[in-house]
Amino acid sequence: MLTVAIAIGAAFLIQAFVVKPYKVPTTSMVPTIRRGQRVLVNRLDTHPGLGDIVVFHPPAGANPQPAVCGDSAEGAGHPQACDQPTRRESSQTFIKRVVGLPGDRISIRDGHVIRNGTPEKAPYAQPCPDSDLCTFPETIIVPPHHYFLMGDNRGISDDGRFWGPVPQAWLIGVAVLTYWPPDRIGIF
């Protein structure tokens, strides 16, 4: 009985502090991750690199539809992506790809990121069906200790373009592998 209690306690501690499973609820990361897939997240890794897939709490501005940018000067139809998140953290959990690091200069054309003047190499990115909805040509600068995150399915992803960069403190961790369904098992 003591062995079972120790095993259960160890499992809870590992999930709480080391590795945690998540089910992907949307198609925003297609083709990389499908809706319903399950991923394991390394909770010890909260300083992701460019191209890493992360699980995080978005700004509270991601909750309403349409999303709210923390920069009150941003309005509908403005030609730049949101450069400041709302000040409060949402309780929702999202999964997206890191496309901008602290200090990066970002603009977006047809859903593709131009980072520090260089177009991203993004074979994983699904094209946007409407270029006007996926183009934010004015440059923003990712604030210190923040990350700019976008879904791979650029035409339908609700992401940093609309609610801004995410503070490092709101990152849960880096996705390391998908474990369900069996035909999609693999590491990122």
Q: What is the pLDDT of residues 1-23, one digit of tens each?
A: 767 556 555 555 555 556 889 99
pTM, full prediction? 0.88
Per-residue pLDDT band for 150 (boundaries 50, 70, 90) equals: very high
Q: Is residue 2 part of a domain?
A: no
Q: Is residue 14 part of a domain?
A: no
Per-residue pLDDT, averaged over 59-83, amounts to: 79
> Which residues does residue 23 pair with via DSSP β-bridges, in sequence order?
38
Distance CA 150, CA 171 (A): 14
Counting the structural domains of the chain, the total is 1
Coil vs helix vs strand at 88: coil
Q: What is the CATH number of the domain that holds 93?
A: 2.10.109.10
Distance CA 111, CA 97 (A): 13
Distance CA 185, CA 188 (A): 10
Q: Is residue 4 part of a domain?
A: no
Per-residue pLDDT band for 162 (boundaries 50, 70, 90) equals: very high
pLDDT number for residue 144: 97
Q: Is residue 90 part of a domain?
A: yes
Q: Which domain holds residue 111?
A: 22-187
For the stretch 79-134, pLDDT in tens is 789 999 999 999 999 999 999 999 999 999 989 999 999 999 999 999 888 887 79
Q: Is residue 3 part of a domain?
A: no
